[in-house]
Amino acid sequence: MICENILLEKKNAIAYVTVNRPKVLNALNMATMEELRVAFTDIKSDAAIRVAILTGAGEKAFVAGADIGELAKQDAVSGKEYAHRGQAVLDLIENLGKPVIACINGFALGGGCELALACTMRLASENAKLGQPEVKLGIIPGYGGTQRLARLVGKGLAMQMVLAGEMITAQEAHRIGLVNEVTALAELIARAEAIAAKIVANAPLAVQYAMEAVNKGMEMTLAEGLFLEASLFGVCCATSDKAEGTAAFLEKRPAVFKGR
């Protein structure tokens, strides 16, 4: 796959996706969004890949936001389509069926913060800054920021971030639950790889169904979510991986999962 704005590498069941526009702090233009769509579609269909790690090139930014020059040209009709196209890419990432770990290595603002929100979990370097500053440009978040942020940190904190448009530190992001962990910049990818290795050791279908239960259950009542959980639990019980996992436990040996 040949891309101008991102890098895609695959190694040890992990796909590494890097937004590679460091001269503009990895800002998201539509060309970059399309390359992300192609890359994650490829990852979704590649059975050898179990986890993806998403980051930005350089040491200053994960993704510093949208391409303002491109954004300035949007009108009511094109702006709605612009938002829908971006949302579709982030929906693909959120519902990939494989965990995506965001390694936030600097600024994650606007579309960059929204990109991180769509990931399964978020790790941040100590120098990271996160925010939704769209109101400073006369617009609102358009890639899911008004929806995923409130679901993650609560309505009040989301309102404060969106309406004030101010950046918060990695440490504050961790305090409010926006990021899972904060680590030194030099250790960020290694920490993501350590988490990824633990995920890779588990049953692929169980990981996929667990993610589906959490993601879909967030949009349901508790009773509906519990019904979904029980249904997916039942599906897991019919897999070869469940037979292997339980047999391995009883026989006191490592399980060998095949995703079936």
| Tens-place pLDDT, residues 43-59 | 999 999 999 999 999 98
114 is catalytic: yes
Range of the domain at 104: 6-200
Contact, 173 vs 128, CB < 8 A? yes
Query: Do residues 127 and 166 share a domain?
Result: yes
Query: Do residues 59 and 147 share a domain?
Result: yes
Is it the case that residue 73 has pLDDT exceeding 80? yes
pTM more than 0.85: yes
Query: Do residues 133 and 210 share a domain?
Result: no
Query: Do residues 124 and 226 share a domain?
Result: no
Query: Do residues 123 and 217 share a domain?
Result: no
- C-alpha 125/C-alpha 62 separation (Å) is 10
Could you say which of 35, 134, 193, 229 is catalytic? 134
CA distances from 137 to 72, 163, 164 (A): 9, 12, 12
Instruction: Enter the tokens of residue 179.
Output: 């990021």
Contact, 137 vs 79, CB < 8 A? no
- The secondary structure element, H or E, covering residue 69 is helix 68-71
Q: For residue 100, what is the DSSP state?
A: E
Mean pLDDT of 67-90: 91
Could you say which of 9, 70, 81, 114 is catalytic? 114
In a domain, 1, yes or no: no
Among residues of the chain, what percentage have pLDDT more than 70?
A: 100
126 is catalytic: no
Query: Do residues 103 and 232 share a domain?
Result: no
Q: Give residue 71's pLDDT band: very low, low, confident or very high (50, 70, 90).
A: confident
| Number of structural domains in the chain | 2
In a domain, 41, yes or no: yes
Cα–chain-centroid distance for residue 219? 18
Query: Do residues 85 and 107 share a domain?
Result: yes
Q: What CATH number did the domain enclosing 154 receive?
A: 3.90.226.10
Q: What is the pLDDT of residue 1?
A: 61
Q: Give residue 3's pLDDT band: very low, low, confident or very high (50, 70, 90).
A: confident
- C-alpha 2/C-alpha 15 separation (Å) is 15
Q: For residue 47, what is the DSSP state?
A: T
